[in-house]
Amino acid sequence: MTGGSSGIGLEAARQLVAAGYDVVLTARREPELRLAAESIGARAVAGDCTDATSFAAVVEASGSVDLVVHAAGVMAGTFVRKERLADFEAVVRTNLTSAFVVASASLPAMGPGGRFVFVSSSSSHAPQPGLSAYSASKAGLNAFAGAFAKEVERDGIAVHVITTGPVETPMLDDVRFPMRTLSVGDVAAAVCWLDTLPANVVLGEIEVSSVESGPFAPELFVPSAARALGRTERQH
C-alpha cells in the first residue's frame, strides 16, 4: 500500500487488515508511517515510490505480493504561465512516474491471480485550470494502467484504476469552492471490493463520485481556501 501513512491509503489498509490481509504500508516519512501501521495492525516498510532502488527494497522486504494498491499522490501546481518546470516535473514524478516504478518493481514478486489497483482522479477526464500538471499526470496514470493491463493479462494479473471525484482529505484545502465529496472510506471500500472480483473478470476503470442530491447526498464540504473567501455555498 503506497501512500499508506494517511488518507485513502491508510483507510484502504485499515479495511484490508480488518478483512484478514497481511498489509504492508509504505511511504517516505518513517515516523508517521510506523505510527499509522501500528494503529491498524499492519507492517511498515519506509521507501520512496518514485525511486526504483528504494522501492525495490520495499518489495524485497514485503515478500510475495498478491495485491498492490498505489494510492500515493499529490495535488499541486498553478497556472501554466506561473508554473516552474521543476514543480511541474515533481508532480508528474509523484503521480505518474511512480506508477511505473511500483509496477515494475512489484511484478516479479506477483504470480497468477495478483492484482494492481491505481488510484486516479476525475481530473484525468475533466482537466482543471491551475492544475495542468496534476490533470496531465492523472490522465497519464490512466493510460499507463490501461497499457500495463494488456501486457500482464497473459500472466493472470489484473490491473484496475479507481478514478475518484473529490475526496475529503487535506489535499482539497486550497480549492476555492464548496463541493460534494467522497470520504476516504468510500474509496477504500471500492479498493477492497475490486479484490473480490473473479480472476477472469476484466474491469479496467471504475469511476467513483458523490451523489449531488437526494437523501444520500453528503453535506457540502467547504475547503479552508473557500471559507477564507466567504464561499460557503454552492455557486449556480
How do residues 44-65 score in pLDDT, each as one tens digit? 999 999 999 999 999 999 999 9
**How do the domains of the chain map onto residue ranges?**
7-228
Per-residue pLDDT at 223 exceeds 70? no
Of 134, 144, 148, 221, the active-site residue reads: 134
Per-residue pLDDT band for 188 (boundaries 50, 70, 90) equals very high
* Cβ-contact 225, 48 below 8 angstroms: no
Q: Which CATH superfamily is domain 7-228 in?
A: NAD(P)-binding Rossmann-like Domain (3.40.50.720)
**Is residue 134 among the annotated active site residues?**
yes
What lies within 8 Å, CB to CB, of 188 at 6+ separation is 8, 11, 12, 14, 15
Cα dihedral 34, 13, 157, 118 sign? negative
pTM (two decimals)? 0.91
Per-residue pLDDT at 177 exceeds 70? no
Cα distance from N-terminal residue to C-terminal residue, the chain: 39
pLDDT cut 70: percent of the chain above it: 91
Per-residue pLDDT band for 181 (boundaries 50, 70, 90) equals confident
Per-residue pLDDT at 133 exceeds 70? yes
pLDDT, tens digit (0-9, with 9 covering 90-100), for 20-48: 999 999 999 999 999 999 999 999 999 99
